[in-house]
Amino acid sequence: MTADRVTVRLAAGTVRGRRTDGHLVFQGIPYAAPPVGERRWRPPAPVEPWSGVRDATEPGNPAPQTARSFADTTALDEDCLTLDVTVPEGADPGTRAPGAGLPVLVWLHGGGGTNGGAALYDARRLAAAGLVVVIPNFRLGVLACFGHPGLADAGTFGLQDQQAALRWVRREVAAFGGDPANVTLAGDSYGALMVAAHLAAPGSAGLFHRAVLQSAFAVAGETPAHALIPGVPALPPRWVPVDELERTGAATAVERGWVRSGGDPEAALAQLRRVPVADLLSASDDFIRPAFGGRVLPEAPGEALSAGRFPRVPVLLGTVRDEGRFFVGMFADLVGNPVTADGYPRLLAEAFGDAADEVAERYPLDRFPTPSLAWAQVSTDRAWARPTWELARTLTPHTRTWFYEFADDDAPPTVPIPGFPAGAVHASDLPYQFDVAGAPLAGAQRGLADAMNRYWAAFAANGDPARPDLPDWPDVDTGHVQSLAPDRIGGVDYAAEHALDFWARMP
């Protein structure tokens, strides 16, 4: 074995990773059997053991997906239930006693529920802060959240994949020097929504001990028309009742010609499992909401969290300061359909009805360089800041909670939008935590990245981000929100910055 290779023995067999830049990296490790053929739309099954040494130096397949303006990957192979592990060089692979290893952070990627994958996240920065980082691939879109009459566990297959990855961590992470008794479940955007689902899912209880939600979109409640993307109608809660999902799935299957109307449900499901994956993906946008009302997710997470029906794990959550600019810039300006001065009042009226004039008075066009930036601020405050703040206030009576706002004006966007001032746009915090291709950090940004990762590592280790070598970070029960910027880390008046008192009485 060459000096840049390292092997670890797991229950299913031995894997060979690589040693690079002071880190050990293992990629494409299977944590469940391939969900192909008859296993499509079934709970993840155990991995088949292998003989010899399995190569773990190349990424596994991302979940099937089609390329989008914000994600250029196309993938069609359903054999995707693998994960990546990044370990700091000083860890001790082979450690198995709980409490003897490093804190573990399991990262759930974003991508709108239809896109993304583990290979996009080089976790060396977080690992360097003293963490073993595990990033799973999991089923997305129509393969994750499809429902149909007779289909058991409808709408929860991606959630179950993540539970299988967490069970793998409990069994195997000690072999990489991690502590299975100290696991933090973290995610960004869609991944953060899934963290909220795990807080409410009975089968996830005990599989993680802290939770991090970064830029979670509307865990509870509806979102007015256009408030996420101009032109998109009002959005229902991010969770769908299982009976509604079954009706939607049955109708979609008939409309797309996958099955005939009125057939036997079991025969229909058998036929659906033979539909080419490329055909299924054409409907993925309609199947991104996990279903509740069944065994895996008995109730909507927003309701469960509001009622305190979740494990009392510490929670760290927050947003980036200019969340909405990503969606307005990407889906309006970039496609040649920016918000105009004439169109702004129409958007307000369709979103807020009788309250539109009040919103227009609070967000007048002459305050902003362009109408698109005016609408982006409305979107940021109503669709991101308000629901995230409400979620934090919901959690604080039940568990200790910390809140942050990422606020680097010059953050490198993960998807640049030419001619559009991004600011601290949605997902622009990710290059500070992960080494993201095409998003380099400069000067003081590297210092901010180091501080953020040390805060996250302290939270993973102790359930509290406070560190003696960094600015103080009180919990949100004190009203404190930690602003994270290269030139300043400290408290910010988040409620005033995002007009939360105003939004509290708006639709």
Active site residues: 189, 323, 426
- The conformation of residue 363, written as its DSSP 8-state character, comes to S
**Tokens of residue 112, six digits:** 């709108």
Buried b (16+ CB within 10 A) or exposed e, 386-401: bbbbbbbebbbebbbb
Rounded to 5°, the CA angle 48-54-55 comes to 140
- Confirm if 383 and 324 have CB atoms less than 8 A apart: yes
Dist CA 232 CA 239 (whole Å) = 18
Minimal CA–CA distance to 25: which of 108, 113, 126? 126
Q: What is the DSSP track for 476-498?
A: GGGT--EEEETTEEEE--HHHHT
Q: Which helix (H) or strand (E) holds 158?
A: helix 157-172
Query: Between 190-200 and 157-172, two packed helices, what is the crossing angle to 10 degrees?
Result: 80
Backbone angles phi, psi at 339, to 5 degrees: -65, 135
Q: How many residues belong to the chain?
A: 507
CB 181 within 8 A of CB 209: yes
| Pairwise CA distance, residues 241 & 218, whole Å | 17
* Alpha helix ranges (H) inside 173-210: 190-200
Cite the DSSP H helix spans in 313-364.
323-328, 343-352, 356-362
Q: Are 453 and 105 in contact (CB under 8 A)?
A: no
Tell me the two tokens of residue 304: 């469960």
Among 363, 302, 321, 339, residue whose Cα is nearest residue 502: 363
